Chains A and B, each alone.
Chain A
């Protein structure tokens, strides 16, 4: 049998596809027939020193895949499957794995270390395999370096896989001691030292206690800093990665080391190889991230003890940090603007400079201006580009007061450079910088306008000209125009853009037709800018927006004419359809929001819907997300007449709701069902059986991304509000589901911020469902059907009130539900509400809320309750 496995594993890697498929099939059968024996033979294969390295490696990989999967539900199944295996079998497998760590064959021990970590991730939380860490640590003192390396790698993977709270502090201490010793300069073997450094990276999350101890922290920091000076470039890079992680995880412990950190990073940025230098810059970017977060969150007011204070490391380092970063800007690569994946010193340095500007604000301006002035007119394109990039980078952060006068001077220069500079990099960065100027210094919130009637025409003209430039430059020009029009979003009824509207639209459409529009995202940028032009348009230009409709429809029609596409061609078609549907959605939403424009728009509704349905039809299994999004906008604009599209649309709605894999599609479809309910009201009834069935299936699925579940509950409310008492037949399915979800979301104790946020989304969805159901049944003879559910709903309101962790949105919806319950159930609810533990406190708290919407809901609820009680 064992011999056989070796051959099958080798065959599974054969170049001959018949042999390979046959082998894969045998492996699958073997696994299905007897999992225990299958896993045992794989572990035996991995441990067998006499086996070929290729079969050992594949055996290890199959083992690893038998323990973990990306999809949550699959992962859960695998974990349960492993836990259910016979204890003896598992012990044998684990022994093989540990034994393999000592193998001199690198691929074997390296694979084993990953498998061990996967097993540990399952077993340690169950308090199983308690001897694992002890036996790994005993390996550390083994003489062969490769055993030590494999063990350190295993410890690293283990720390990556396992949650810190399942490992005792005592064991954490021992792991850290072993790891840090391995990193020490005394360690002569570089493979061991590298493995240890990478292990520390993963172990940092376990080290909170150790970082609170001055002596231990000093020791760790000293070893890490020393490792950044190691002759081996990989170790230096790994050590800097540790420092980056320490800067984010232990920001508040950095003060004693910041000078040293600056010295070693400055040296690395100026002298070291690029991968190391990039990490050194990243370190400062990370510190900026921390300080930006702290300053944003607390607004500079640190009164509570538990808050992390801002140490202003960036502000202190500014005089040395800024010149260092400015130097990097001159290290551009040729053609970096044409390479989507490029990431180099100049890019990292400019990005960091932008973060520094956001951290310190005005203080950065005087430090950067001399560099810009010195370089912006130099003959070497690198200097001009670096100067421009520096300028663009510091536009977010400093106050408009500080920047406006400078920008007013620079604007003309930039416009000239965008037209006349001979270098494409310079033009690219110039157009980007103009975009940043418009993004941050132009708009209704800015006091002194940068764009005036005097220069508006020139700006538009230059940007439109640049759209004929190289694709990367044209793309940035589109981006600049995007922010230019966005600045006029709240302008009112007359926009300075109106005189140029026709020309802008014409130019953008022209760009989308360019032969080379596929390069540098140019076509996408042009459509996105067109969308923004439409969104920010006023009634003055509504007729021109309307004229766009047949143009975009024609383009969409053309994508449907293409026949027999290659897979690449199909992907391009799909992308283009997405852009065109997106554009139609934006137009529909815009025109649908104003009565006269909507009336004119409706003449196209049939044709548009027909096109969307054809877009759906040209794919077999999935629904086009952008088309679905656009259909929601059409439903909203159309109202009850939308019913005529339902017979054909329905199957695609169902398909969208079934799309677990692309959960965005499912989420969008759920939203569109809501639009349709509001548009059709009770005319949606014939489709509700199917829709409700699918929504209930979605809720029960553990495959569907959890973010879709709250909107599904809200959608119940939309349906109930639309069909009123006809919702009766769904009550017996929907109510228990709401009830159990409510129980799950009532308490959040011990949850992290992310979980609390999700719980609040879920609560809001549940409450919106209740709201819709109560309002839907109001004034119907069937309201008494809801009475049995009222005590539980009131209890749910009680418990989320007691929990004290709901956000404003939930508070608004919750107090509204209290009103809906009273409003619909009337005197039946009166006594229940009076018995409720906290309704009165809850209501009073909401009545005195500063939030306008909460107060409004609460006032309404108060009246509804008053009526219910006084009847």
Chain B
């Protein structure tokens, strides 16, 4: 029967420093394990590959000022170094040219709608595209950076996105970055988020559009990114209303009021993952009612008499679109290339002559093109086949909104052929 001894620690702190050392070590180990786990969970799935010259990101860091210049190195495309794989976190540390080139390849680029996909009403979403600058917004390490399609830095600012501002007392892990696909809308200085690629370190690349839109709508509001700007939140973010592409949805997207200037309609396949580069599972369509810019303008903002297009010169002199695989519109002969001092990889501007584009069985057979010169230096890509085609049909026999409504049909059976039969009867 031992006497009660538990009150012995007389005039002593309750915990020994040795125990404190053990506990703090355990705490550190626990945190390190959590970080390792997070790293393993997030990053491997968001690794994207990138062609780069063999220059390490750390060397590039000294060229910090470079990114503030809005000038593009004209022959950036010529460096074809070994493939380097960066994850987004590493990439966010890239500076200057490398950063621009990396980010330029990360956006999902919708094809232009040149014919109506089947099952539009069941498998697709539609929304009105805000007019503005398409950009990638990345929040990490307490700051938020937006980069245009060609990789140029648009803004660097604090935001309410996870890890988007240096606010004390927020103990987000370093892995907690976000990547949003946005359009910056100048008139109201708002980033309209049209897609979500990574959220708080979780990659959404391999999630369906359905899931991404769900996530986007629930998360963005939750963190206060849609709040009015404040010290730690310089620009407002906003979601765009997304509809099922049925009669009502299409109607609302087409004529319904939105707080931004519309620039056409975007159609997203519900089941498609976020795929970088051109994809036929996201489509853009426009007419004069929903866009100010249906027909391409030249550098002075004038609609040229002839359709113009930009193609990339290849090694063998062929002229290719930006598609993968590319579509060949023609070729330049060697003499001409030598005379003009062009290199493979140059982006060249052409006008479509009266001969136009000829098709056999829906495939391009012949294009009557006239060489105008090298394209604007800010361009990163040649035009895509669908873009050229859309511009061509807009000038000749446009795909009209009626066609879209017709494909959906009042019963929503989505079969344009049966609709025709009904009309004929």
Contact = CB atoms under 8 A, between A and B. Distances in A.
A and B physically associate:
yes
A409 B373 CA distance: 87
A721 B29 contact: no
Interface in A361-375: none
Contact of A282 (B7, B11, B17, B45): B7
B21 A531 contact: yes
B40 A531 contact: no
Given A198-B1, A678-B33, A585 B25 contact: yes
A819 interface: yes
Contact of B1 (A238, A476, A527, A535): A238
Nearest to A718: B33
Contact of A585 (B1, B10, B21, B204): B21
Interface stretch (B52-60, B206-214, B319-327): B206-214
B28 interface: yes
A723 interface: no
Contacts, number: 123
Interface in A618-649: 626, 629, 632-633, 636
B80 interface: no
Nearest to A681: B36
Given A201-B1, A482-B13, A528-B17, A636 B32 contact: yes
A860 B202 contact: yes
Nearest to A632: B25
B32 to A, nearest CB: 6
B202 A721 contact: no
B70 interface: no
Given A351-B10, A671-B25, A859-B202, A775 B1 contact: no
Interface string A739-755: 00000000000000000
Interface stretch (A206-214, A261-269, A300-308, A863-871): A863-871
A866 B203 CA distance: 12
A439 B215 CA distance: 46
Contacts of B37: 721, 771-772, 775, 816
A343 B21 contact: no
B215 to A, nearest CB: 8
A623 to B, nearest CB: 15
Given A636-B32, A721-B36, A863-B207, A668 B22 contact: yes
Nearest to B47: A779
Contacts of B200: 856, 859
Nearest to B12: A479
Nearest to A527: B17
Contacts of B45: 823
Contacts of B204: 863
B40 A721 contact: yes
B17 A866 contact: no
B396 interface: no
A243 to B, nearest CB: 12
If over half of A's interface residues share one DSSP class (helix, strand or loop), that class is named, otherwise mixed; here it is helix
B168 interface: yes
A476 B41 contact: no
A768 interface: yes
Interface string A521-533: 0001001100110
B17 A582 contact: yes
A177 B33 CA distance: 58
Nearest to B18: A582
B28 A636 contact: yes
Nearest to A628: B25
B178 to A, nearest CB: 13
Contacts of B202: 859-860, 863
Contacts of A870: 206-208, 271
Contacts of B300: none
A479 B13 contact: yes
Contacts of A820: 41
A717 B25 CA distance: 18
A114 interface: no
A171 to B, nearest CB: 22
A626 B18 CA distance: 9
B24 interface: yes
B29 A241 contact: no
Interface residues of A, number: 73
Contacts of A714: 33
B4 interface: yes
A113 interface: no
Contact of B29 (A238, A675, A871): A675
Interface string A343-363: 100011001000000000000
B211 A285 contact: no
A429 interface: yes
A52 B252 CA distance: 107
Given A532-B17, A589-B25, A678-B33, A866 B207 contact: yes
A778 B28 contact: no
Q: Identify which of A439, A776, A860, A863 gathers the most chain B CB atoms within 10 Å of its CB.
A: A863
Interface string A269-305: 0000001001100100100000000000000000000
A477 B271 CA distance: 69
Contacts of A632: 25, 29
B3 interface: yes
Contacts of B3: 241, 275, 278-279
Nearest to A724: B40
Interface in A465-522: 476, 479, 482-483, 492
Contacts of B339: none
Nearest to B176: A856
A778 B44 contact: yes
Contacts of A586: 21
Q: Identify which of A482, A633, A866 gathers the most chain B CB atoms within 10 Å of its CB.
A: A866
Nearest to A344: B10
Given A492-B168, A778-B44, A863-B211, A348 B1 contact: no
B116 interface: no
Contact of A582 (B21, B32, B203): B21
B8 interface: yes
A201 B3 CA distance: 12
Contacts of A864: 41
B26 interface: yes
A244 interface: yes
Contacts of A772: 37
A678 B32 contact: yes
A432 interface: yes
Given A856-B200, A870-B208, A870-B271, A531 B17 contact: yes
A674 interface: yes
B25 A674 contact: no
Given A859-B202, A866-B207, A867-B207, A671 B13 contact: no
Nearest to A592: B28
B387 to A, nearest CB: 29
A775 B26 contact: no
B36 A678 contact: yes
A244 B41 CA distance: 54
Contact of A629 (B8, B22, B203, B271): B22
Given A432-B11, A863-B202, A589 B28 contact: yes
Given A479-B13, A582-B18, A721-B36, A351 B4 contact: no
Contacts of B4: 241, 244, 279, 282
B191 to A, nearest CB: 22
B16 to A, nearest CB: 8
A586 B24 CA distance: 9
B47 to A, nearest CB: 9
Contact of B41 (A483, A674, A678, A823): A823
Contacts of B28: 589, 633, 636
Given A586-B21, A671-B26, A778-B44, 7 more contacts: A202-B1, A348-B7, A429-B11, A674-B33, A772-B37, A859-B202, A867-B207
13 contacts: A198-B1, A348-B7, A351-B10, A432-B11, A535-B24, A582-B18, A589-B28, A633-B28, A636-B32, A664-B22, A860-B41, A863-B207, A867-B207
Q: Pick the 10 closest A-B CB pairs, nearest first.
A: A528-B17, A775-B40, A867-B206, A432-B11, A351-B7, A347-B10, A282-B4, A671-B29, A860-B202, A866-B211
